[in-house]
Amino acid sequence: MPILVMKFGGTSVANLDRIANAAKKVETEVARGYDVIVIVSAMSGETNKLVGYVEGTSKLYDAREYDAVVSSGENVTAGLMALRLQEMGIPARSWQGWQVPINTTSAHGNARFLSIPRDNIDAKFAEGFKVAVVAGFQGVSDEGRITTLGRGGSDTTAVAFAAAFGAERCDIYTDVDGVYTTDPRISAKARKLDRIAFEEMLELASLGAKVLQTRSVELAMRYKVRLRVLSSFEETDAASGTLVCDEEEIMESKVVSGVAFSREEAKITLFTIEDRPGIAAAIFGPLAQAGVNVDMIVQNISEKDYDDDHPGAVTDMTFSCPINQVDRATKALEDAQAAGLIRYDELIIDTEVAKVSVVGIGMRSHAGVAAKMFAALSKEGINIKVISTSEIKISVLIDRKYMELAVQALHDVFGLDKA
Ligand code: ADP
Ligand code: ASP
Ligand code: MG
């Protein structure tokens, strides 16, 4: 039998009615002749609640116990989905990560897949079961402990199963009907894309478009999984949603395909550091060791003989990181200062920033995208604090209060509302 993977996100399994609605979509695919692997998220809001319980109990919590707690939301929906399908006369069985087993690294809270052996689920399909319902977001380490894959990780579970089982397609059912030019909750002019290239989706996801977890796109690209995003609340057919595919399969050629944003950013400046070989290593080494994900970096031009306290050349270094890592970053820098590894006069922390990015594979062959982007922001009076670019994206850090305005302006200037 051909195999199909269908993933239902939190809002799609938020209550018993929604689970029943999702089960009907599964029934349709079973009737078409598929053996179906269903991946479920926890009911919406559930994982946040569980994270809150953990943080309310222990500030510097043991990540193994964090995983034990926060993985549990998916266990509930997996069992309920299997029960609902059984009620509809469809032979279904639920699987928690350890039962499959979904083998992962032991990086608790952010584990990666090692292997997904097919044997157990294949044996159930061979017995006549039509649906395997698998709890998303979780796995088991080689120490036999439950792990989780990072927030939004059920997308990655779905793609990994599609790859492991050679599924015909991996359908990600969610609360929007596809991937849009930007988050449709931010811009009413956002337009649904029929197709998007893996590379572009990868950038959009990693720059904040949470419609797919970044690693799910990475895996789909590597294992050539046909990945589709579609609505669990609408009637859907073979043409619904957005297909994430190779760039050769895309007709539409826009220079910019999408605008992404992330509110959860912070900017840290080390004021008056020595400008000498090794200073960047002395700053970013301790940050890396503390597990801080540094994103954008800028260093000022150097000033000679700044004052009597600062003989030689001094400069300032600014970087951005996720807002929830500011405490960790500050501590790492203060410790490095105390240990005499670096010397600065002040740490200036700005937690009121956001990152806005434009993404498109067309940028590879078009000049002037950055200039157009900066002009559009300037027209709105938006000041740019940090800039970073890659082959197919340009990101800017700006005041968070201007984030939505910036997204709208960029969406307009690159004509994303027009097909
Ligand atoms: P699920 O619970 O189904 O995994 P998520 O909330 O994780 O759903 O992801 C879907 C959400 O992603 C949408 O509701 C939408 O607000 C957001 N989103 C952000 N950027 C985009 C985009 N470019 N296209 C579509 N949705 C987007
Ligand atoms: N329930 C998990 C989360 O909220 C995983 C997921 O939904 O993908 O992050
Ligand atoms: Mg999600």
Q: Which ligand is nearest to the CA of 9?
A: 1
Ligand 1 atom with the smallest distance to the CA of 11 is 2
Mutate to test the pocket of ligand 1, among 15, 176, 179 (most ligand atoms within 8 A of CB): 176
What are the φ/ψ torsions at residue 278 (nearest 5 degrees)? 95, -5
Ligand 1 atom with the smallest distance to the CA of 155 is 4
Q: Which ligand is nearest to the CA of 154?
A: 2
Residue closest via CA to ligand 2's atom 9 equals 151
Distance separating alpha carbons of residues 173 and 12, to the nearest angstrom: 7
CA neighbor of 400 nearest in space, from 261, 244, 206: 261
Ligand 2: list residues with CB < 6 Å: 9-10, 41-42, 47, 73, 136-137, 151-155
What's the CA-to-centroid distance between 341 and ligand 3, angstroms?
A: 41
DSSP letters, 247-288, are: GGG-----S--EEEEEEEEEEEEEEEEE-STTHHHHHHHHHH
| Long-range contacts (CB closer than 8 Å, 24 or more residues apart) made by 45-54 | 45/10, 45/14, 46/10, 46/73, 46/76, 47/10, 47/73, 47/137, 47/151
Confidence (pLDDT) at 87: 98
Q: Cβ(268)–Cβ(307) under 8 Å?
A: no
> Domain coordinates of the chain in residue numbers?
3-175, 248-419
Distance separating alpha carbons of residues 38 and 2, to the nearest angstrom: 14
Q: Cβ(74)–Cβ(154) under 8 Å?
A: yes
What's the CA-to-centroid distance between 133 and ligand 3, angstroms?
A: 18
Distance separating alpha carbons of residues 243 and 171, to the nearest angstrom: 9
Q: Which ligand is nearest to the CA of 137?
A: 2
Give domain 3-175's CATH superfamily. Acetylglutamate kinase-like (3.40.1160.10)
Residues surrounding ion ligand 3 at CB below 5 Å: 9, 152
Residue closest via CA to ligand 1's atom 6 equals 211
Residues 248-419, CATH architecture: 2-Layer Sandwich (3.30)
Distance separating alpha carbons of residues 299 and 221, to the nearest angstrom: 34
Geometric angle at alpha carbon 150, from 147 and 156, rounded to 5°: 90
Q: Residue 407, SS3?
A: helix
Buried-state track 367-397, b at ≥16 Cβ within 10 A, e below 16: eebeebbeebbeeeebeebbebeeebbbbbb
Ligand 1 atom with the smallest distance to the CA of 175 is 14
- Residues 6 or more apart whose Cβ sits within 8 Å of residue 283: 270, 273, 317, 333, 336, 342
What's the CA-to-centroid distance between 25 and ligand 2, angstroms?
A: 21
Ligand 2 atom with the smallest distance to the CA of 137 is 5
Q: Cβ(230)–Cβ(241) under 8 Å?
A: yes
Residue where the block lists tokens 């043991």: 62
Number of neighbouring beta carbons within 10 Å of residue 365: 8
- Return per-residue pLDDT of the chain as tens, 419 residues: 899 999 999 999 999 999 999 999 999 999 999 999 999 999 999 999 999 999 999 877 899 999 999 999 999 999 999 999 999 999 999 999 999 999 999 999 999 999 999 999 999 999 999 999 999 999 999 999 999 999 999 999 999 999 999 999 999 999 999 999 999 999 999 999 999 999 999 999 999 999 999 999 999 999 999 999 999 999 998 889 999 999 999 877 789 999 999 999 999 999 999 998 999 999 999 999 998 999 999 998 877 877 877 778 899 999 999 998 999 999 999 999 999 999 999 999 999 999 999 999 999 988 899 999 999 999 999 999 999 999 999 999 999 999 999 999 999 999 999 87
What's the CA-to-centroid distance between 180 and ligand 1, angstroms?
A: 9
Geometric angle at alpha carbon 25, from 244 and 117, rounded to 5°: 65
Residue where the block lists tokens 């953990």: 54
What's the CA-to-centroid distance between 277 and ligand 1, angstroms?
A: 44
